[in-house]
Structure 1
Amino acid sequence: MSDSAPTAANASLRGGFLAAIFLMATSAIGPGFITQTATFTQKLGAAFAFAILASILIDFVVQLNIWRITALTRRNASDTANAAIPGSGYLLAVLILIGGLAFNIGNIAGAGLGMNAMFGLDPKIGGAISALLAIGVFLSKRAGLLLDRSLIGLGVLMIAMTLVVAITSNPPVGDAMRQAILPDVIDFPTITTIVGGTVGGYITYSGAHRLLDKGLVGEENLAAVTRASLTGIAVTGLMRFVLFLAILGVVASGVTLDLSSQAANPAAQAFAAALGDTGMRIFGVVLWAAAITSVIGAAYTSVSFLNVFSTMTERSRNIATVIFIAFSLAVYMAIGTAPAAILIFVGGFNGLILPIGLTIFTYVGFARPDLMGGHVYNRVLLTLSAIVCALTWYMGIKSVGPIFAFLGA
């Protein structure tokens, strides 16, 4: 009895951290990132490696600090913000909900594109089927377990499938590694968009809020939270580079991806160029897995911010999540904007939300140890957070015009 209880507790602990890792990773690698990667790799070539590396470094600082501070405060992000700066939690919640809704429309669009590539289904029908599957997760009596297992299984599937294409496309790895450090060109709107698509908006808080729901908080869990955050960043970083290399190999071989048409699907073109019809089917699986996990992650995390307005039970939150997904689906079915355009624009929009939340959390780390149980926060991590915070404000300001002009381009 005494041996089995600690074993069960350790397994539950590992499962909780693994669930948070994959919720963050799959949220960060959604259909928006896949579409953005294909678009910007065609535009910048190997120089896009710099933007990928920049997003990973920013991700490292943002996620590590937010996971750790959330664990120490034992509150979700909006409650922490309100306690630190009265009223700021409401602002953050509204921005996250708007950004999460916009992201989820794009995620459902991506799921529709994935089913179209796999089975030839009309994207709107595929999007509707996918949204209903996501709703089924939250209607299940074992929603938490189903959520965790779905995210882990689909996350592993995405990485394996993309790795096959990356090996087949034979990318110029040496040139990509060089330009990750010394790029031929630096494009701030591109970096802001890719950062927004991988760590902006709700994505910043997805893993941290999952740990909070699992009760994996407090100074006693801080070391494990730190390890889990670093592991999650490593998983997302690996996936980002593998996807980039898969598409770079196709572009470097002389294939030109169509970016001119509003209905264009550049990532699908890249996978098809690498492996023909099989590549198109693999793309469909990867995009659909990325999209359905992101639909779940966006809805789960966005709705978790509603707690700042009214305390919610697990059941009421699951119902609100179902409504959130259903509303996202209704908007997607009603609008006429091409899915690829949605996915690019939303990344940029969420990149503008990022510095607001990061500013609040950096302030908490520096000035509000009382909110962290008296814990004196690591000054090196705080300094890095302040630097990244200033950088994301700068990139956001520089990129406002180009990002909001995108849909009219």
Structure 2
Amino acid sequence: MSDRTSPGNDKGDGVSVPGPATTTSGAVGFARSRRASLIGAIFMMATSAIGPGFITQTATFTASLGAAFAFGILASIVIDFIVQANIWQIITASGKRAAELANEAIPFSGYVLSVLVIIGGLVFNIGNIAGAGLGLNAMLGLDPKIGGALSALLAIGIFLSRKAGLLLDRAMIVFGLIMIGLTVAVAIIANPPVGDALRQTVLPDTIDFAAITTIVGGTVGGYITYAGAHKLLDSGTAGPEHIKQVTNSAFTGIAITGIMRYVLFLGFLGVTASGVVLDLSGNPAGQAFEAAAGEWGMRAFGLVLWAAGISSVIGAAFTSVSFMTVFSAKLDQRRRGWVTVLFIVIGLVAYLIMGTTPVALLVFAGGFNGLILPLGFTVFMYIAWFRRDLLGGYRVQWWLLALGTATTVLTWYMGVVSFTKIFEFLAA
């Protein structure tokens, strides 16, 4: 298994930094590698944020709330923007992984954060494998258990490859483009009531905090919060001097995910508004795609869900395992690769033996990680406000800090009022 860091010198803290360029070709090669890693980080965040959980959650809540769920989509986009912009800047400026930075700011908080993210990542990954299985079922008619197993094995193959880092970057981009293209096509065919959706985006008929907490958790909760930032650290993008580049990348990723989320919602809304009743105990997202475009729509949905599932399996495993380094300095890049494989295998075994339906797993995973979000974000808001010494003196913009603080309060409130209902999803 190959080392996944970019070319450079190891500082001993888990962050690779570039060594001095000795030739023009070497400098150009490193610049291209850095650019590819930035694009890979954008698509890792985007595909993780629009995984099978988000797709299934959007279909489920659109079927029950109709156009009013547009407000939930808007809330998830705004919260995503605020959380990611803060986290990417804070982690990049510090040059340290989230758990290590948290420990330096508040003793032992990094260990607590790591345990929560790893548990949440495992819950997500069980759902991701289930989603990939559902995708192959819709696309090829395979049993979801078999499809999930094959998808997990493919993800493992990427990590075992001699060119794992390159494959990871390319896979994130290819899967992301497939998801965007097919979803846009189905949304156009579905012909949704755009006017009503736009009105209820800001003036909803009803607000369901459990639905919003779940969709936020499925887009920026748990490991997703840190996926892109940790990917950047592994590429050597660390230090205050990279903040502008990183912030632009974060905004690009957020724009991609925001557009994708709204387009996906409009596609489901078009189907439900036409009078089609989705079976929430089955595969509501697949039913919506089939209703919009017939058998072609079902096959396209299968490909979208499979691409979302397998890319999210990779993203969840990669980021969750990156939090384990706080427990052992010996967990270098080579060992992390094998631990990542084990992480995927554990998720696969859990999926194969669990009796809970894939749809229930996917909805619960978002809700559970929505409960984790405010815990970690509170720590990073504390660092941004009071521990600039850990950020190399870098000061996050005041308006971004103010929005981050307000978002922290909001996510705590949503988590408290929706706690019981989220666990009810698992029993559905």
TM-score bracket, normalised by the shorter chain, equals over 0.9
2:353 maps to 1:334: yes
Listed one character per residue, the Cα deviations across residues 51-86 of structure 1 (whole Å, up to 9, x for unaligned) are 000000000000000000000111000001100000
Residue of structure 1 in register with 2:57 after alignment: 36
Listed one character per residue, the Cα deviations across residues 269-312 of structure 1 (whole Å, up to 9, x for unaligned) are 00000111111100000000000000000000000000000122
What SS does structure 2 have at the residue aligned with 1:396? Answer: helix
Residue of structure 2 in register with 1:403 after alignment: 422
Q: Alpha-carbon deviation of 1:7?
A: 3.7
2:171 maps to 1:150: yes
Q: TM-score, normalised by structure 1?
A: 0.98
Residue of structure 2 in register with 1:206 after alignment: 227
What SS does structure 2 have at the residue aligned with 1:26? Answer: helix
Say whether the 8 Å CA contact 2:94–2:240 is kept in structure 1: no
Residue of structure 1 in register with 2:263 after alignment: 242
Match 1:10 to one of 20, 23, 31: 31
CA distance in 1, matches of 2:381, 2:24: 42
What SS does structure 2 have at the residue aligned with 1:216? Answer: coil
Residue of structure 2 in register with 1:104 after alignment: 125
Q: Please, which runs of 5 or more residues in structure 1 have no aligned partner?
A: none
2:203 maps to 1:176: no
Match 1:347 to one of 339, 362, 366: 366
Say whether the 8 Å CA contact 2:89–2:396 is kept in structure 1: no
2:308 maps to 1:290: yes
Residue of structure 2 in register with 1:273 after alignment: 291
> Which AA in structure 2 matches 1:370?
D
Listed one character per residue, the Cα deviations across residues 197-228 of structure 1 (whole Å, up to 9, x for unaligned) are 00000000000000011111111110000000
Write the mapping of 1:2-401 to structure 2, written as runs, cut at 5 A.
Answer: 4-259=25-280, 261=281, 264-311=282-329, 312-401=331-420
CA distance in 1, matches of 2:273, 2:28: 50
What SS does structure 2 have at the residue aligned with 1:393? Answer: helix
Q: Alpha-carbon deviation of 1:121?
A: 0.5
CA distance in 1, matches of 2:222, 2:250: 17
Q: Alpha-carbon deviation of 1:3?
A: 5.7
CA distance in 1, matches of 2:262, 2:400: 25
Residue of structure 1 in register with 2:15 after alignment: none
Q: TM-score, normalised by structure 2?
A: 0.93
Q: Alpha-carbon deviation of 1:374?
A: 1.8
**Please, what is the CA RMSD of the aligned residues?**
1.1
> Which AA in structure 1 matches 2:116?
L
Q: Alpha-carbon deviation of 1:8?
A: 3.1
CA distance in 2, matches of 1:276, 1:38: 17
Q: How many residues align?
A: 406
Residue of structure 1 in register with 2:3 after alignment: none
Q: Percent identity?
A: 63
CA distance in 2, matches of 1:163, 1:251: 17
Q: Alpha-carbon deviation of 1:11?
A: 2.0
